[in-house]
Amino acid sequence: MTITTLVIAAIAFVAFNGLSCFNTKFRDRFFGTLWRTRYIFAFVAAVYFLLPAIIGPSASHSILSMLPSIILQFVMAIVFVGFQFGMMFWMMGNANKPEVYLPGDAPTKEWSDWIGSEGVKKELQKAVESLRRWELYEKNGTKPLNGMLLYGPPGTGKSLAAKVVASQAGLPVVIASAASLNGPFMGMGMLLVRGLSRRVKKLARKYGGCVVFLDEIDAIGATRSGLGGGMGMPMGGMGGFMGGGMGGNGTLQSLLTVMSGAEGGETFLLKLRKRWGLAKRDKKHTWRILWMAATNVALETLDPALIRSGRFGSKKLAVNAPNDDNRRALFNLYLRKKNVADDLDFDQLVQLSRGMTGADIEEVCEAAMRTIIFEGSDRPLAFADMFAEIRLHKNGVPRSVPLHEKERYPIAVHEAGHGTAVVLYPPAGMLCSGATLTPTEDFLGAVMFERVEELSLMMKEDCYRRVLIAVASRAAEKVVLNDASAGVSSDLNQAMSMALAMVEHYGMGDRLTSAAAIGGGHSPRAVEQAEDIVNATYEVAERLIDSNQNAVKALADSLVAEVNLTGPQVIDLVMQHAQIPFESVAAEVEGVVARLKQERKTRHQSTDVAPKAGDTSEVS
């Protein structure tokens, strides 16, 4: 026995005696464990003493001498397999490692960096206060905010909101995709959630709190109506081992457990030390965690347990596309550090960008500057650059094959029909913003109209005008070209979709009904009414185009010559030759619909009273 062995044995003896004398919990655990495992020791002793008597001293000596080697090999096999699985899980877990932003690592995010609804911003500021002064909340018998759900279209600033909250609270923020918490093996999602929990609580203990942001929470938080959860259908041939049925549900259940505080987020070694009395248990948390999540889907599709109060449902905030004032602020924010022309028209930019999100506006501003740099110019950013990038963003990249010369005028007439209708009968709050014959992968030509007023309610007249604008292209082809093209397929789709919505959802048909409540697809009666609306509107559109042939031809000629026209140019061309044949589109269309119904009724009556074959009686 070497000196080193003696020293180690002496240290172990002193440590054991010290813990036994002064740590009551260690002493109770140690001797309790010995007592519970007494039968194992008794079995080993019985084998050691009885084996020589049964098989003889020499044979028992041979077996007992081999026993340590067998045990060692068995332990090594277990360790090797465990090491393989551990490395595999470690590599898969690190591949999905969340982003962590510590205080001071990145520039401070101010409230002015997040532009959106003031109501949403106020709720975010309340969340910051609950993290900063949680002791005051608890002193007054109020629990600090635990969870928050942001929902709305992509690109509206949900991730940025989490960064601003963490930055203003002076806390680290952990950003992870919810889909990254799913694994290919059953149970791996639960391990990833627990790993995330340990990491978050470690940061919370160090900094006094932490903000967790889970993007696309619907990846694991879909309603648990079946086996799928976040992992879809079970993978055949592998039983339940490869994720499948239990993977998504297990991940979601683990996340719910972690959020409720039932899972301590402690490592195995820490739990072992606490069990043996070698580490102190936390009597009370001196830190807080705010769980934030974002989704682009309807809240009805998420699991009720996930969005209930006390979890992410404590605050459900709708983050929608920015309004006019917010878009103006976004353009100022993203252009403030760029070389911008003095006469840049922000009013026009706000009008052209309706429907765009904050991410869209940022990308348009950056793309416009990239184009100038690519051209090798150092000129300031002008309105024409922004206009071109907004059009490119909305319409897509032009097609590599230009329009054939024979197609240019028919397509121009088609678009001129749209343009004439939208100039003379625009839906409320909308205005023509341009026309183009530049083909893309989505269309051969287009007439654009944008919102000029932030209106949320669509009246019956607006619905009929949208159908009129859609079918005016076919009317122009018939009246001006005396022909028809296959280019109206998307127009007819839009017209029929609007007409069906009017009948089945808006209560603008013969009777009040709701297809959403009834279900089962489109009823024959609804389809018949929608077809009457579309055909009647087409008849009205023919009258409109016939009265304004000069305007249609002038607009088509200018499109062929110029290829791209701005909104004011389209409006001027149409208004120079405009003839407004009626005031209300709805009144005209409903008059035609009534006539069509009467004609159909008359035909049915004629069919019912017509003499049958072989019947020679007179019809009175």
What is the secondary structure of 472-505 as a DSSP string? Answer: HHHHHIIIIIS---GGGHHHHHHHHHHHHHHHHT
In a shared domain, residues 381 and 298 = no
Q: How many domains does the chain have?
A: 4
Q: 230: pLDDT confidence band, cut at 50, 70 and 90?
A: very low
Write down the H helix ranges in 232-376.
244-260, 268-275, 324-335, 346-352, 358-374
Query: How high does pLDDT run on average in the chain?
Result: 80
Check whether residue 118 and residue 206 sit in a common domain: yes
More confident residue, 587 or 517: 587
Looking at residue 267, its pLDDT comes to 57
Q: Is the distance from CB of 243 to CB of 229 less than 8 angstroms?
A: no
Q: What is the pLDDT of residues 64-113, one digit of tens each?
A: 777 778 878 888 888 888 777 777 666 665 556 778 888 877 667 888 88
Range of the domain at 128: 97-222+287-320
- pLDDT category at 479 given cuts 50, 70, 90 is very high
User: Which residues, listed in sequence order, are joined to residue 147 by a DSSP beta bridge?
Assistant: 291
User: Is residue 13 domain-resident?
Assistant: no
Are residues 511 and 371 part of one domain? no
Over the stretch 313-336, which tens digit does the pLDDT of each residue have?
Answer: 888 888 888 888 888 999 998 998
Asked whether residue 468 falls in the same domain as residue 378, the answer is no
Q: State the CATH number of the domain containing residue 479.
A: 1.20.58.760
76 & 206 share domain: no
High-pLDDT (> 70) share of the chain, %: 85
Please give the pLDDT value at position 51.
73
Quick check: helix, strand or coil at residue 211?
strand
A 10 A CB-CB count for 262 gives 8
The verdict on residue 363 lying in a domain is yes
Tens digits of residue pLDDT in 2-20: 787 777 777 877 776 676 6
Average pLDDT (170-185) is: 80
Q: Which amino acid is at 503?
A: V
User: Which pLDDT band holds residue 179 (cuts at 50, 70, 90)?
Assistant: confident
**Domain match, 376 and 468 both:** no
CA 327 to centroid of chain Cα atoms: 21
Q: What is the CATH number of the domain that holds 206?
A: 3.40.50.300
Question: Strand 430-436 and strand 564-566: pairing?
Answer: antiparallel
Residue 6 lies in a domain: no
- Any alpha helices (H) in 170-292, and if so which ranges? 188-207, 218-221, 244-260, 268-275
Same domain, 349 and 447: no
Q: Which of 238-252, 272-286, 534-548 has the lowest mean pLDDT?
A: 238-252
Element (H, E) at 384: helix 383-395
381 and 483 both lie in a single domain: no
Confidence of residue 470 (pLDDT cuts 50, 70, 90): very high
Q: 591 and 464, same structural domain?
A: yes
Number of Cα atoms under 13 Å in the Cβ half of residue 506? 18
Q: pTM here?
A: 0.68
Confirm whether 348 is domain-assigned: yes
Please report the pLDDT score of residue 304 as a whole number.
Answer: 87
Whether 212 is covered by a domain: the verdict is yes
What are 176's strand-pairing partners? 214
Closest to 251 (Cα-Cα) out of 271, 232, 270: 232
Pair of tokens at residue 604:
């049915």
Residue 389: count other Cβ atoms within 10 Å of its Cβ: 20
Judge whether residue 1 has pLDDT over 70: no
**227 vs 198 pLDDT, higher one:** 198
Tell me which residue has tokens 């069906």.
Answer: 500
Do residues 507 and 593 share a domain?
yes
The predicted pLDDT at position 244 comes to: 41
- 270, part of any domain: no
Q: Give a yes or no: residue 346 inside a domain.
A: yes
